[in-house]
Amino acid sequence: MKNAIPRYLTLLVFVQFSCAQVENTPPIKTPDSKKYTPELVVPDVEIPWGMVFLPNGSLLYTEKEGKLIRFQYGKKNEISWLPTTYVRGQGGLMGLAIHPNFEQNNRIYFAMATPNEDASGGNTGIYSATLLGNTLNDVKLLYKAEPDTKKGVHFGSRIVFDKEGYLYFSIGDRGERDINPQDITRDNGKIYRLNDDGSIPNNNPFVGVDGAKEAIYSYGHRNPQGLTLHPETGALWEHEHGPKGGDEINVIEAGKNYGWPKITYGKNYVGTSITKNRSLPGMEQPFYYWVPSIATSGMAFVTGNKYPYWKGDLLVGSLKNSYLERLTIRNNKVVARKKIANGIGRVRDVIIGPYGYIHIAVEFEGIYRLIPKN
């Protein structure tokens, strides 16, 4: 376990660096000269994956190896009666969300790599359960991708509810890029949409299409590990890992094809070409992409007034480079990138918590709150 006390105590946040896809836009400067410091809220966490605040202010978070933890008043309580997690490679207990009416129904939702009967393989499953104290009740498997496989890559998976109460979740291509992402009769490499009870909305884009997986909302994705709603438009935003280069942000629309692997700005990890195509008819261009990759994970828009000059900016965690990235968006384009908490460690998730504070989940460190210094 690494020392949970960060090597830095004060962060200069006014740091600008070069980026892809902003060549034709002059860099902007924000008048934000304040300093911020990360405050360790939850220490001694191995691989946190998803986190959400409950209405009473307690923090619920997942650990990849199969633990669901409630943190309140400085104390950790492990939630019991969690299903068995298929911990393999990148797979484990992942994304987490609460029902929009949690105060009335106590329902939570989580993504989990789920084993088959003999644990010889697995795939991503989406569950709901009632949280009563520190125990799960009425646990239901709402959706499980098929087929099961021993491959340990590209499970996804984030969960978010939209303003109409629809449940969205992501599942990666499971390492089968040539057969899964572009085929709507197959799971994997998709964004899905369900009703809160697991049923399929009758206005999903592929309902009634012969052979289609009707829960699919969009397709052509590689390994989506970020989902969030735009605070003003309500649009669903997603980011996903590219291969070597080509991490990308997409604004998700019903039935759209986001191209993987037919189009990409990345290459194979050995440096060889995946495709010469950066665009093709009928396939969406990313809203933004990174070359080189930063290994994106977790995303949130800055809301509230704790960071007034950041309001409306998009936060994206970097696993590879150990920082939180802040993207400034003007006129529907990214016009600046800045590093936040540079060197903090592998950022797995970021959310805006109570009172508008940014919370950052960092592997083998803990969960931090970013405190403005007056």
Catalytic residues: 154
First to last CA, the chain: 32
Gap between the Cα atoms of 52 and 109, Å rounded: 11
Q: Under a CB-based contact definition with an 8 Å cutoff, are residues 193 and 208 in contact? A: no
Torsion of CA 80, 81, 84, 89, to 10 degrees: -30
Query: Residue 117: left if φ>0, alpha if ψ -120 to 50, beta else—which one?
Result: alpha
Q: CB under 8 Å to 144, separation ≥6 — which residues?
A: 114, 123, 124, 125, 126
Q: List Cα–Cα distances, 199 to 40, 127, 141, 209, in angstroms.
A: 40, 13, 11, 17
Q: Strands of 67-72's sheet, edge to edge? A: 48-53, 59-63, 67-72, 75-78
Q: Could you tell me how many helices (H) and strands (E) the chain has, helices first?
A: 1, 25
d(CA 202, CA 162): 16
